[in-house]
Amino acid sequence: MIGEMFEEKMDALSRMTAEALALPFPPGFRGLDIEDQDMVMLDADAHGYATSVLKGPLSEQQRAGLTRLVSAFDNVLPAIDDAYGTRYYTHARAMAVLTTEVENLRED
């Protein structure tokens, strides 16, 4: 059962990562910091962790970074005042949360 759920979440993460890559980066967000977060790096980190989890388990240091990343999204999202930017970063946060779920299932 856990193996089947793991495979379903891996497939979902793979699709979500492809969807994220197809979305244009929000205009005006390059070089923008919101809540002390560089928005380009926040996006890059979400993609980086997702890609890493699709390839194999994360290190403890990476797992801690992923946890911090989800918290950073939670701080940043309410402060975004652009509709497309909100949609884009909500998707990136969902991808980071799914990445966490996949990694947690791998651990079980």
pLDDT given at position 94: 98
Residue 5: both structure tokens together: 């759920």
- Burial (CB count <10 Å: 0-12, 13-18, 19+), residue 51: middle
DSSP letter string, 7-23: HHHHHHHHHHHHHHHHS
pLDDT given at position 108: 59
pLDDT given at position 2: 64
pLDDT given at position 3: 78
| pLDDT tens digits in sequence order for the chain, 108 residues long | 567 888 999 999 999 999 999 999 999 999 999 999 999 999 999 999 999 999 999 999 999 999 999 999 999 999 999 999 999 999 999 999 999 999 999 865
